[in-house]
Amino acid sequence: MITSAVLDSIHDGVIVVGMDSTILYANPAYTRNFGVQVSKVLGRKLSEIEPDSRILTVLRTGKPIVDDHSHVVSVGIDIVANITPVCEQGQMTGAVAVFRDATEVMALKDLVTRYHSELLELRTRLLDVGDVVWDSPAMRRVSELAQRVALVDSTVLISGESGTGKEVIAKLIHQVSQRHKGPMVAINCGAIPENLLESELFGFEKGAFTGAGREGKVGLLEVADKGTILLDEIGELPLSLQVKLLRVIQELRFMRIGGVKQVKVDVRFVAATNRDLKTMVKQGTFREDLFYRLNVVPIHIPPLRERTRDIAGLVRVFLRKYNEKYQLEKRILPEVVRFFETSYDWPGNVRELENVVERLVVSSRGDMVRLGDEVLRDYFTLQGDPESRVIVSGLMNLKKARELLEQELIQKAAQTYSSTRSSAETLGMDHSTIARKARKFGIKFQAN
């Protein structure tokens, strides 16, 4: 048996009783927790001291009791007990009970929960989930909510404008969840024709319809078994399929097209949309019951114009991505990033920002992208009214700035029209004035 010296050093209370319930041993932690003296309990029968003790049940049945919670009125504490039969040479000779203060157990659970949350945060930052950037408070809240909801299997509805990163957050939820070893399957409900969408989701049996394969086909719901399925652009799902999807979410079973047997799946549903589903419900184009089944945990991703603090981090991510892809070493100067943050609304959100960075990487002539870069200037001129969009990189004398702007506009006109007459008409200048200024700036037109 374990020596008393070892038992005396254990933090938990320990008591050993014989088959007749005589108390053979009690360690210091036991006497301290229960406020008794060793001399007052050793040699006494537990059945006389505590007739309802669970230790007596173990002596009677020979079966252990694990994690038994009870309240000790005499000392006013909650305890957790583990009671195990003691056997020698195949015969039961007594029982040993280990008691722990439940308040300590709860404190440890709280500590474990806190550490687990911190580990999730660290793990999330190391995950390969694409372009997850949350320098802004808004996106930090989104990522924290995504991590919390990832721990359970609740259905999630991610909303936000096109290009805000809804699929990235869905991947984050999957990779932080207990399902991360299972598949992550995404289906765009708006990109697949209505007559094919049902077969993509549910699959079909052989011969189910004209053109069906000889062996049938497994649907994406089955492919996502033990994992997560993302229903992207859920607002585009036809009404005829909405009721079928609702049944799958509720019952986690369905039938293939042309099938007669129910197929069971273990799937976590995440939906995403850039549409106002509440308005669609009022208009009768989206089922109310499906909306509430999907909207258990809503996550809204704000547009990039409302979280401009994320832009610098996103630019770094995209710049590294496309430098590696094209084996280049381009740099984007801080003045360009500041322009991105302050002078444009990014209607295409993160997706548009990524496209711009890729364009700068592959199209800019030098290794350094500056604010006056031709590729950058051309892109933002095309996005809005060229008469109202001026890029300002720093302060200077107003007269000098006006002269530089005139020179740049005349140079652009010369490249576009080649004649002073067409350029003068576009710029709203007299033909003689533009000819004089062109000579001043050394700008040559091919024709006049």
CATH number at 52 reads 3.30.450.20
Is the pLDDT confidence value at 383 over 90?
no
Percentage of residues of the chain with pLDDT beyond 90: 46
* 304/353 Cα distance (integer angstroms): 9
Confidence of residue 393 (pLDDT cuts 50, 70, 90): low
Quick check: 73 pLDDT over 60?
no
Residues 369 and 402 in one domain: no
The 10s digit of each residue's pLDDT in 262-315 is: 999 999 999 999 999 999 999 999 999 999 999 999 999 999 999 999 999 999
pLDDT of residue 290: 96
pLDDT tens digits, 13-30:
888 999 998 989 888 888
DSSP string, 201-218: HHEE-TTSSTT--TT-EE
Residues 149 and 168: beta-carbon distance below 8 Å: no
**231 & 375 share domain:** no
Domain with 364, as residue range(s), is: 307-391
306 secondary structure, DSSP code: G
Q: Give me the chain's average pLDDT, please.
A: 84
Whether 158 has a pLDDT exceeding 90, the answer reads yes
Q: Is residue 112 part of a domain?
A: no
Which residue among 300, 324, 349 closes a domain?
300
DSSP string, 64-122: -EEEEEEEETTTTEEEEEEEEEEEETTEEEEEEEEEEEHHHHHHHHHHHHHHHHHHHHH
72 vs 172: which has the higher pLDDT: 172
CATH number, domain with residue 180: 3.40.50.300
Band of residue 132 on the pLDDT scale cut at 50, 70, 90: low
Read off the pLDDT of residues 248-263 as tens digits, 9 standing for 90 and up. 999 999 999 888 889 9
Output the pLDDT for position 76: 62
Pick 119 or 295 by higher pLDDT. Answer: 295
Same domain for 288 and 320, yes or no, is no
Other Cβ atoms less than 10 A from the Cβ of 25: the count is 19
Q: Which of 29-38, 92-101, 111-120, 171-180 has the lowest mean pLDDT?
A: 111-120
* Same domain (yes/no): 243, 387: no
Please check whether residue 110 lies inside any domain of the structure: no
Q: What is the DSSP letter of 372?
A: T
Shared domain for 224 and 286, answered yes or no, is yes
Would you state the pLDDT for residue 74? 55
| Residue at 238 is within a domain | yes
How far is Cα 278 from Cα 295, in angstroms, rounded to an integer?
10
In one-letter notation, the amino acid at residue 358 is E
Report the distance separating Cα 149 and Cα 129, nearest Å: 17
Domain match, 228 and 264 both: yes
Same domain? 235 vs 344: no
Q: Are residues 354 and 434 in the same domain?
A: no
Does 113 map to a domain? Answer: no
448 pLDDT above the threshold of 80 = no
- Position 118 in a domain: no
Q: 375-391 burial string, b = 16+ CB within 10 Å, else e?
A: ebbebbeebeeeeeeeb
Contact 301, 164 (CB under 8 A): yes
The DSSP bridge partners found for residue 272 are 158
Q: What residues contact 443, with CB distance under 8 A and at least 6 apart?
A: 407, 410, 411, 414
| pLDDT surpasses 50 at 386 | no
288: which DSSP letter? H
Interior angle at CA 424, CA 418 and CA 429, nearest 5: 155
- What's the DSSP call for residue 257? B
For 163-204, what is each residue's pLDDT tens digit?
Answer: 999 999 999 999 989 999 999 999 999 888 888 899 999 988
Total domains present in the chain? 4
Tell which phi-psi region holds residue 431, choosing left (phi > 0), alpha (psi between -120 and 50) or beta: alpha
Rounded alpha-carbon distances, angstroms, from residue 217 to 220, 341, 379:
10, 48, 45
Report whether pLDDT(118) > 80. no
In the predicted structure, residue 382 carries a pLDDT above the cut 70: no
Among all chains, which residue has been given the structure tokens 């070493």? 329
Instruction: Write down the pLDDT at residue 237.
Output: 94
For 32, the token pair is 């301290």
Q: Is 86 a domain residue?
A: yes
User: Strand pairing partners for 25?
Assistant: 16
CA distance 98 to 72: 15
Q: Is the pLDDT of residue 226 over 90?
A: yes
Cβ pair 92, 64 in contact under 8 A: no
Q: pLDDT grade, residue 388 (50/70/90)?
A: very low
CB neighbourhood size of 167 (10 A) = 18
Average pLDDT value for residue range 424-432: 77
The 3-state secondary structure of 13-34, one letter per residue: EEEEEECCCEEEEECHHHHHHH
Same domain, 190 and 277: yes
The reply to whether 27 and 137 lie within a common domain is no
- Same domain? 404 vs 427: yes
Domain boundary, last residue among 376, 391, 406: 391
Tell me what pLDDT residue 207 has.
59
Question: Nearest CA to 338 among 369, 374, 303?
Answer: 369
DSSP H or E run through 311: helix 311-326
Mark whether 158 and 292 lie in a shared domain: yes
Residue 217 confidence (pLDDT) above 70? yes
Mean pLDDT, residues 212-234 taken together:
87
Q: What is the CATH number of the domain that holds 319?
A: 1.10.8.60
pLDDT at 1 (0 to 100)? 46
Inform me whether the pLDDT recorded for 387 exceeds 80: no
- Residues for the chain: how many in total? 448
pLDDT attached to residue 120: 55
**Residue where one domain finishes, among candidates 372, 391, 410:** 391
Q: Does 109 fall in a domain?
A: no
351, 163 in Cβ contact below 8 A? yes
Cα separation, 134 vs 314, whole angstroms: 9
